[in-house]
Amino acid sequence: MTKTRAVPVGIGHYLPARVVENAEFEKTLDTSDDWIRSRSGIERRHFAAEGETTSQMAVAAARAALDMAGLQADDIDAVIVATSTPDLTFPSCATMVQAGLGMQRGFAFDVQAVCAGFVFALANADALIVSGQARRVLVIGAETFSRIMDWTDRGTCVLFGDGAGALILEAQTGTGGSDDRGILATDLNSDGRYRDILYVDGGVSSSQTTGVLRMEGREVFRHAVEKLAETATAALEKAGVGIDQVDWIVPHQANLRIITRTAQKMGMGMDQVVVTVQDHGNTSAASIPLALSVGVARGQIKQGDLLVCEAIGGGLAWGAVVIRW
């Protein structure tokens, strides 16, 4: 029995030129490089330049993915951008990417699930491909979180960075078994009761302002470890594969302690986890595609490897994707 699979054919990323080391925060906050590293594992992050937007970074990442795949923009049927820091209230970032790439066909839309956005976007792309509505989908995570920081809050502003990652998925025929390349299973969850532990305190219909990020760090940490391990396990069960068959965990890069604890809870060693948080900080929806792109460039992730990507973000929203590269 054959089955249509959404198979990765190109990956790319973009990081802004400005690199901000932890030491820079020592000038304005009661913090230190040691304090930031010990609590988050973050050593540096990238911040977008003045006037540099989320859609511009998304276009740059998309071009890198197209180059790797040997494709042109008009070979793409759909663009999905996961972001919670769009250029404008509307239109969507995805339509701006479509125009920026010179793409004159297909359709484009945004997904907003904060740090879990890329996982939700992958699930949408998989559904479009499996249902036959699209043959090739460009899935992008892109964020400019530096624009929604409270620079007086040392508990949050040191954690986040800007960047973009892009993945192209293509319809290919598989056997329907777990040896197929492509997305094998997805698991999505949300619970709006936890809104107040991670949110931005502005919005169009409430305050007519952009607002800044607010977070109860301990509560987010507690939920993250528990829910990330659960959703990854659920996705693996749906895919019909065991944890012992996984080559790499490619997690949302929020905090090294969360990444480490989640891997331990899943019975995986850190030598099987792709980690980029030290160089990028938390780039929200961009963090998983950034980690995928860096993992491929490093030679860690190879064709045929079985990956689990898992993420949690404001909402709370969380989920996981099992994909054979």
Active site residues: 115, 252, 282
Cα–Cα distance for residue pair 168/12, rounded to 1 Å:
9
Phi, psi torsion values for 212, nearest 5 degrees: -130, 160
Cα–Cα distance for residue pair 261/287, rounded to 1 Å:
18
Q: How far apart are the first and last CA of the chain?
A: 21
> Hey, what are 17's tokens?
């030129």
Run of H or E residues at 215: strand 213-215
172-189 as b/e: b if 16+ CB within 10 A: bebeeebebbbbbbbbbb
CA dihedral 289, 294, 297, 303 (to 10 degrees): -50
DSSP letters, 56-110, are HHHHHHHHHHHHHHT--GGG-SEEEEE-SS-SSSSS-HHHHHHHHTT--SSEEEE
Using DSSP bridges, classify how beta strands 136-144 and 78-82 pair: parallel, antiparallel or unpaired: parallel
